[in-house]
Amino acid sequence: MARAARRPAVLALACALALLPLRAPAQAQADEAALKLAYLYNFAQFVSWPAESFAEAQAPLVLCVAGRDPWGPMLDRLGGRVVAGHTLRVARPRGVSEARGCHLLYVDDVAGQAWLLAALAEAPVLTVASQADAEAAAPPPATIGFVRRGERLGWAVNLELLRKARLKLSSKLLEMAVRLHDGERAP
């Protein structure tokens, strides 16, 4: 009886195993959080900040995460790397004044940190936010919003916020974006 009971399960497993050799070549895959971190690191190489953003030519480039931190010590491992001639420094600001010292700021919990994004709207900080799937078509609440399309992660750019922040993105970053939003004009 017990053996009979196991038969469909064994059958299912056998079917699954039999089909295994049909698999397509493996593709690169990663956790969403790890992928976002790699994107942030890449973004830093394609942004031009106003000259006054760096006190001196050798000043560090400050990468921040505000509120919820999806990476923990993994983020700290980025500190010390050199990006576009600047040494990368990691920070977790606790208020607006500290956040103004960031060059690139990531916000995971958009609802909880909306006040910070609003306060930084005209500061020369490249704000990057995680955008909910349901809001994928809406303008990002930050200069850049991560957008998930199926199993791929891309980004959308809010050109209006970018202008206010006096930042310039390389054409590569704009061309590869999923969507460009410019105020109430057509997306």
Tokens coding 97:
């004044």
Q: Which of residues 133-162 bind other proteins (CB under 8 A)?
A: 133-134, 136-138, 148, 150-154
Q: Which of residues 85-114 bind other proteins (CB under 8 A)?
A: 92, 94, 108-109, 112, 114
Query: C-beta of 141: minimal distance to other proteins in Å?
Result: 10
- 33 near other proteins (CB under 8 A): yes
Residues in binding contact with other proteins, number by CB under 8 A = 66
- 51 near other proteins (CB under 8 A): no
- 74 near other proteins (CB under 8 A): yes
Tokens coding 147:
């957008």
Are 86 and 60 spatial neighbours (Cβ–Cβ below 8 Å)?
Answer: yes
CA dist., res. 84 & res. 48, Å (int) = 10
- 82 near other proteins (CB under 8 A): no
- 13 near other proteins (CB under 8 A): yes
- The residues, any chain, with a CB within 8 Å of residue 7's CB and separated by 6 or more, are none
CA dist., res. 69 & res. 108, Å (int) = 7
Q: Which stretch binds other proteins (CB under 8 A): 8-16, 50-58, 99-107, 157-165?
A: 8-16
What are the two backbone dihedrals, phi and then psi, of residue 79, each rounded to the nearest 5 degrees? -55, 140
- 71 near other proteins (CB under 8 A): yes
CA dist., res. 66 & res. 60, Å (int) = 18
